[in-house]
Amino acid sequence: MKVTEHIANAQGKTLFSIEVLPPQKGKTIDDLLRVIEPLMEFKPPFIDVTYHREELIYKKRSDGLIEEIPLRKRPGTVGICAAIKGRFNVDTVPHLVCGGFTPEETEDALFTLHYLGINNVLLLQGDSDKNPKAANPKNNAHKYASDLVYQVARMNQGKFLHEETENEMKTNFCIGVAAYPEKHYESPNLNTDLKWLKHKVDCGADYIVTQMFFDNKKYFEFVDKCRAAGILIPIIPGLKPIAQRSQLSTLPRIFHIDIPEALANEVEKCKDDKEVKRVGIEWCIQQSKELKAAGAPVLHYYTMSRSEATIEIAKAVF
């Protein structure tokens, strides 16, 4: 079933969902399935699986020159989605990114998903943190998420890249996209970012998932601004509990978000990361309860493929 159908069927009840990462190469999928298993108690109607582009690593060769090697550390998003779907009978949402693929390769991947009965996708530009070349895709790859949205929306109309199929088949993907209550870091201001978000919606996005935030006011204000800009599709808040003191600086650096002073002060007072985890879980429970009371369609937890904190939060909230 589509994410938007799950939301419609819930008739205003807030749903619980999670995002997991593919295992690192060398680890087994069983570890990931063990993470998901206890979370199934809270009946997530869908589970997102992230996509990871190749990272650039540098090795010194025997002749002294430095070799640049593109390496994918977490491959297998599509296969993992199929495995989770088969094991838990739950809908899965693979993330697909622009760079690294030609539009033809993207089309093939979408056919594979279609054959697997996976009809939800979250379409993204893709991180360029660990691979600066990802920001300047080669091979005619899409540059912005909206280009991907346009391609998938056309496939849903039976329009393919180079030819019409003989039996007039159409795909039936529900299209999710990302948004940033505190603005995307490359955007000059929130209004410009909203203009491009509206463009993604006009290209065919069906729902939005937000970047994590720690101050609900930012989400509520963002939703109001979206509605005023004519963005009327569901906006799912993304949540993550703080777990380490070091995240006071790493989360703002990596994700370009603010940590509210009250939360930062609480974390500073902790004597170790065990106490930080407690603070992070309590903060996330309060955030979740307020978002649920305000009628958020789904609470979507970034688990980082660890379940303990999310279980505790879900027990308190759902």
Catalytic pick among 19, 107, 182, 266: 19
* Rounded Cα distance, 180 and 193, in Å: 8
Biggest CA-to-CA distance, the chain: 66
Strands 174-179 and 207-212, how do they pair? parallel
Work out how close the CB of 90 gets to ligand FAD at its nearest, in angstroms, rounded to a whole number: 18
Residues lying near ligand FAD in the complex (CB under 6 A) are found at 50-51, 53, 95, 97, 124-127, 144-146, 178, 184, 186-187, 193, 196, 200, 209, 211, 238
* Rounded Cα distance, 294 and 283, in Å: 17
Closer residue to ligand FAD (CB): 197 or 276: 197
Work out how close the CB of 163 gets to ligand FAD at its nearest, in angstroms, rounded to a whole number: 27
Work out how close the CB of 59 gets to ligand FAD at its nearest, in angstroms, rounded to a whole number: 23
What are the two backbone dihedrals, phi and then psi, of residue 21, each rounded to the nearest 5 degrees?
Answer: -105, 150
Closer residue to ligand FAD (CB): 127 or 282: 127
* Rounded Cα distance, 25 and 61, in Å: 24
Closer residue to ligand FAD (CB): 193 or 206: 193
Query: Which tokens belong to 142?
Result: 């899409």
> Does residue 19 carry a catalytic annotation?
yes
Work out how close the CB of 136 gets to ligand FAD at its nearest, in angstroms, rounded to a whole number: 13
Closer residue to ligand FAD (CB): 79 or 278: 79
Side-chain-facing half-sphere of 92: CA atoms under 13 Å: 28
* Rounded Cα distance, 39 and 309, in Å: 11
Q: State the amino acid at position 45 in one-letter form.
A: P
List, by residue number, the catalytic residues: 19
